[in-house]
Amino acid sequence: MMTAKSGNPASEDNDLYEAAETDGLDPGDIDDSAGQTSPDADDVTLRPNTLIPEHGIFGFRNRNRVQTVVLIGEQKTGKTTLLAALYGLFCKGPVGGLEFVGSQTLCSFAERNHLAMMRPDRTAPTTPRTSIADAVGYFHLKVRNGETVSDVIISDRSGETFEAARVDTSLMDRLTELALADRVCFLLDAARLTNIATRHGYRRIFKQTIRALVDNDVIPKTAVIEVLVTKIDRVSREREGRDLSAEMAEYEAELIREFGDSGYTFNVHRICALPRAAVKIGFLGMEELVGRWASTPADADIAPRPVYDALRYIDRSPNLWS
Ligand SMILES: Nc1nc2c(ncn2[C@@H]2O[C@H](COP(=O)(O)OP(=O)(O)OP(=O)(O)O)[C@@H](O)[C@H]2O)c(=O)[nH]1
Ligand SMILES: [Mg+2]
């Protein structure tokens, strides 16, 4: 007959076995993270606000069928603000027919959104700079369109790392997120693009970044490339009689001419993630953006791909051996 005992039920179970019987048993998968949660203090459980780290992303992708979006942009082009805006939009309700289901990085989203909106004393709200010392981190978003549920992970890292990789291609190996990309988004700052003092250099540098990544084959051939023209609110007013929209359209057409036949699906979209300078513009292009990012791809074609530039592969083989 079993008698009721107080204490740990697991130890009760073990009491029914001899030590020799239990020692050799496989304990099964133990969830280490369960032991790492912060202890309750005053009945408040703290939740971590970390992103999915580089070493955790492979396991996450193995467990879930996800779309991986990689954000690339110089410093202050609006990468983190875009992520904050995504969260902010889902807080208000469905976005373009997509409903929010969940997120493994909810606290990180909330923190970015809070920081993007705070500091009312500043002329413009600002997110803290993503530090070059931080490795890449991934945000997670699970959304639903009717019966179809999709998982999206989005990388965020410091713009300085991309700037360094543009001028020194040996640093491209460090952009580990690119190998996982289903979609690579290059953020193009509309304000810098149309500013007379900065536009010349910025136009050249922006193309140079895409060219460096495409020519060094660090973007998977199956990935879609999109250029996201950010901060449209800042160029919506007429400036010194110039038609800023037409100037941007001209550059966008140049990009499509130059990269449209590089072997990738290549598109340009205008977005506004923080319509501060022209409130009427609203969150331009954000619904469409979420729709594209969460779209479920067709089943992957696993047939071996033909090799088009075999000589370049031979060129690179010493790198693999070294
Ligand atoms: N007016 C306006 N400002 C924006 C918009 N998007 C971003 N910003 C501002 O641009 C600045 C830089 O934005 P971030 O999102 O921090 O840029 P980032 O690309 O993450 O920069 P790093 O972390 O340094 O690589 C912030 O002050 C934002 O408030 C926008 O759509 N409109
Ligand atoms: Mg940032």
Domains and CATH numbers, the chain: 52-295 (3.40.50.300)
Q: What are the tokens at 307?
A: 């090799």
Residue 119, pLDDT score: 54
> Quick one: pLDDT band at residue 60, thresholds 50, 70, 90?
confident
Q: Does 283 or 9 have the greater pLDDT score?
A: 283
pLDDT at residue 176 is higher than 70: yes
Residue 20, pLDDT score: 56
> Quick one: pLDDT band at residue 82, thresholds 50, 70, 90?
very high
Strand partners, 139: 154
d(Cα 73, Cα 159) in Å, to the nearest integer?
6
> Quick one: pLDDT band at residue 38, thresholds 50, 70, 90?
low
d(Cα 49, Cα 140) in Å, to the nearest integer?
12
Q: Give the ligand 1 atom nearest the CA of 276.
A: 1
User: Is residue 84 lining ligand 1, measured as CB closer than 6 Å?
Assistant: no
SS3 52: strand
User: Is residue 285 lining ligand 1, measured as CB closer than 6 Å?
Assistant: no
For residue 81, the CA-to-ligand 2 centroid distance in Å is: 7
For residue 129, the CA-to-ligand 1 centroid distance in Å is: 9
The region of weakest confidence among 31-45, 94-108, 153-167, 270-284 is 31-45
The number of the ligand nearest the C-alpha atom of 72 reads 1
315 sits in which H/E element: helix 310-321
pLDDT at residue 172 is higher than 70: yes
pLDDT at residue 297 is higher than 90: no
d(Cα 88, Cα 112) in Å, to the nearest integer?
10
Q: Does 305 or 145 have the greater pLDDT score?
A: 145
Q: What are the tokens at 43?
A: 């009945």
d(Cα 273, Cα 187) in Å, to the nearest integer?
12
Backbone angles phi, psi at 41, to 5 degrees: -125, 130
Q: Does 20 or 111 have the greater pLDDT score?
A: 111
DSSP track, 191-207: HHHH-TTTHHHHHHHHH
Q: What is the pLDDT of residues 207-265, one digit of tens each?
A: 999 999 998 889 998 899 999 999 999 998 777 778 899 999 999 999 999 999 988 99
Residue 35, pLDDT score: 42
User: Is residue 77 lining ligand 1, measured as CB closer than 6 Å?
Assistant: yes
User: Is residue 274 lining ligand 1, measured as CB closer than 6 Å?
Assistant: yes
The number of the ligand nearest the C-alpha atom of 127 reads 1
User: Is residue 112 lining ligand 1, measured as CB closer than 6 Å?
Assistant: no
> Residue whose CA is closest, atom 31 of ligand 1?
231
Q: Give the ligand 1 atom nearest the CA of 83.
A: 15
> Quick one: pLDDT band at residue 133, thresholds 50, 70, 90?
low
Instruction: Say if CB 157 and CB 134 are below 8 A apart.
Output: yes
> Quick one: pLDDT band at residue 113, thresholds 50, 70, 90?
confident
Residues of the chain with pLDDT > 90: what percent? 49
Could you say which DSSP state residue 17 is in? S
Q: What is the pLDDT of residues 198-215, one digit of tens each?
A: 999 999 999 999 999 998
> Quick one: pLDDT band at residue 13, thresholds 50, 70, 90?
very low
Could you say which DSSP state residue 50 is in? P
pLDDT at residue 34 is higher than 50: no
For residue 131, the CA-to-ligand 2 centroid distance in Å is: 8
The region of weakest confidence among 10-14, 73-77, 122-126 is 10-14
Question: CA 46: distance to chain centroid?
Answer: 25
